[in-house]
Structure 1
Amino acid sequence: MSKYDLTLLILVLALVLNACTTEKANNNDSPITETAYFGEKPPGLTPKLFDPKIVSPEGFFESGTFSPDMKEFYFTRKNGKYKERTFFVIRNENNKWSQPSETDIRWPLFSADGNTIYIRKQYRERTETGWSEPKNLGEFIKEQAHGLSVSDNGTFYFPFFKEEDNGRGNLGYSRLINGQYESPVKMSTEINTGEYIAHPFIAPDESYLMWDVEREDGYGESDIYISYRNKDGSWSKSINMGSAINTEHLESSPRVTHDGKYLFFTRGEWEIKEDGSRNYVGKSYWVDAQIIDNLRPEKQTTSTKVPPQLQPTGSKQKSQCFHTGS
Structure 2
Amino acid sequence: MKKTLLILSLLAIFNSTFAQSNLETFPVLKGSYMGQKLPGLSPELFAPNIISNGLANRDVAISPDGKEMYFTMHTARFQYAIIVCSKLVNGSWTKPEIVPFATDSRYKYLEPALSYDGQKLFFVSDRPKDGSKEPVAEDIWVVDRKNDTWGEPYNLGAPVNFEGGDFFPSLTKDGTLYFTRNELEGRISNIYR
Would you call these one fold, judging by a TM-score over 0.5?
Answer: yes
C-alpha spacing 1:135/1:150, structure 2 compared with 1 (3 Å): same
Structure 1 residue runs of 4 or more that deviate by more than 2 Å after TM superposition: 122-126, 142-146, 176-182, 190-196, 203-206, 216-220, 269-272
Give the Cα–Cα distance (whole angstroms) in 1 for the partners of residues 102 and 39 of structure 2: 32
SS class of match (2:50): helix
Give the Cα–Cα distance (whole angstroms) in 2 for the partners of residues 192 and 179 of structure 1: 27
Between 1 and 2, higher relative CO (CA 8 Å, sep ≥ 6) is seen in: 1
Query: Which structure has the greater CA radius of gyration?
Result: 1
The residue number in structure 2 matching 1:175 is: 87
1:269 to 162, 167, 183: 183
Give the Cα–Cα distance (whole angstroms) in 1 for the partners of residues 103 and 117 of structure 2: 21
Give the Cα–Cα distance (whole angstroms) in 2 for the partners of residues 187 and 175 of structure 1: 12
Matched AA of 2:192: Y
Cα deviation for residue 135 of structure 1 reads: 4.3
Cα deviation for residue 253 of structure 1 reads: 0.7
Give the Cα–Cα distance (whole angstroms) in 2 for the partners of residues 198 and 149 of structure 1: 11
Map of 1:1-326 to 2, 5 A cutoff?
A: 125-126=39-40, 131-141=41-51, 142=53, 143=55, 145-154=57-66, 155-161=68-74, 168-177=80-89, 180-188=92-100, 190-193=101-104, 194-217=106-129, 221-231=137-147, 233-257=148-172, 259-269=173-183, 280-286=187-193
SS class of match (2:102): coil
Residues 124, 132 of structure 1: 8 Å contact kept: no
C-alpha spacing 1:217/1:209, structure 2 compared with 1 (3 Å): same
Structure 1: gaps of 5 or more residues: 1-115, 117-121, 273-279, 287-326
Give the Cα–Cα distance (whole angstroms) in 2 for the partners of residues 175 and 144 of structure 1: 21
Cα deviation for residue 221 of structure 1 reads: 0.9
Question: Which one is further off, 212-221 or 143-152?
Answer: 212-221
Give the Cα–Cα distance (whole angstroms) in 2 for the partners of residues 256 and 238 of structure 1: 17
C-alpha spacing 1:124/1:251, structure 2 compared with 1 (3 Å): same
Give the Cα–Cα distance (whole angstroms) in 2 for the partners of residues 267 and 174 of structure 1: 29
Cα deviation for residue 260 of structure 1 reads: 2.3
Matched AA of 1:132: S
Residues 200, 212 of structure 1: 8 Å contact kept: yes
SS class of match (1:148): strand
Residues 144, 158 of structure 1: 8 Å contact kept: no
Q: TM-score with structure 2 length normalisation?
A: 0.64
Structure 2: gaps of 5 or more residues: 1-32
Give the Cα–Cα distance (whole angstroms) in 1 for the partners of residues 92 and 129 of structure 2: 39
